Amino acid sequence: MIPVLDLAAFRAGDAEGFTAALSAACRETGFFLLTGHGVDEGLTAALFGQAGALFALPQARKEAVGIHLSPHNRGYVALGAERLDDTSGAVDRKEAFNIGLDLAPDDPEVLAGKPFRGVNLWPDLPGFRETALSYFNAVWALGVELHRAVARDLGLPEGHFAPEFTAPMATLRLLRYPAASGGAGEIGAGAHTDYGSLTLLMTDGTPGLQVRPRGAGWTDVPHVPGAFVVNIGDCLMRWTNDIYVSTPHRVLPPARERRSLAFFLDPNPDTLVAALPGTGTPKYPAIRAADYLAARLAATYEQKG
């Protein structure tokens, strides 16, 4: 049910075949597995290693770079701090660390206090920043390349989306799901759809991720070693005027500890998300990408006090 697409075919000249397969995946399941992407396996392994070192730190050291210190969705997220499914009441049993576009403290947009234009928070771990940013840049480039095929599928010039991802509100999220404790109603990550344009996920192979395509029940996402799990986010669904589908998914409490690297590719903050040419009468009003993301994130974090 979850198709496997080989990007090497697109790069080798079979743009038509790859685009047709991508079109079916984006319009039907909203999910696909991507091989032939060229992201270095050694770099991926190195980042998994850095993530392991981060999550093994004492809680106080993790909280020293906590997301509560950043108004820009950066830093460490503790166990139980999020609730992605606002209908169940269950909080997510996971911890995470968010990294965004790396800007200097004196960047004009940082100094102006623009949303999603802050500095990253970095743990005191040798090589962490360099490894994370190398991976961030590699997957960012991959996401932009995939948008070339999206543009082809929608009858637009291949470079149509490129100007909208020059300084994106992308988030690289390192995730750790502890082994299931057996508690009633426990969930790793509650049922949700992603907020951005494309999500590119690399997992350690531990089962747990499920999707719920339209007209079907919950389905396990298979593991293909080295392949990204790619899915459509709500922003791209809106951009395509609902031609593409953003599919609910969740993470069940794993039998053993599970780790993943999720890259959420949102467009530039000032991108106007409006129905693309040729997609019919707009179903949604146009909105700035930053305003859309801010509204979605506001509902994610559990309110305490």
Direct distance between the N- and C-terminal alpha carbons of the chain, in angstroms, rounded to an integer: 43
Report pLDDT digits (tens) over 120-161: 999 999 999 999 999 999 999 999 999 999 999 999 999 999
- Please provide the average confidence, as pLDDT, over all residues in the chain: 94
Confidence tier at 60 by pLDDT (50, 70, 90): very high
Query: How many domains would you assign to the chain?
Result: 1
Residue 201 burial (10 A CB sphere; 0-12, 13-18, 19+):
buried
> Exposure string (b/e) for 97-135, b if CB count within 10 Å is 16 or more?
bbbbbebeeeeeeeeeeebbbbbbbbbeeeebeebbbeb
Q: Could you tell me the CATH number of the domain that includes residue 140?
A: 2.60.120.330
The range of the structural domain enclosing residue 31 comes to: 4-298
Residue 201's φ and ψ, nearest 5 degrees, are -115, 130
Mean pLDDT across the stretch 156-173?
97
Predicted pLDDT of residue 289: 97
Q: Would you say residue 223 lies in a domain?
A: yes
Is 304 part of a structural domain of the chain? no
Instruction: Look at residue 305 in the predicted model and tell me its pLDDT.
Output: 29
Residue type, 180: A
The answer to the question of residue 81 being in a domain is yes
Distance from C-alpha of 191 to C-alpha of 92, rounded to nearest angstrom: 10
For the stretch 181-221, pLDDT in tens is: 887 778 999 999 999 999 999 999 999 999 999 888 999 99
The answer to the question of residue 303 being in a domain is no
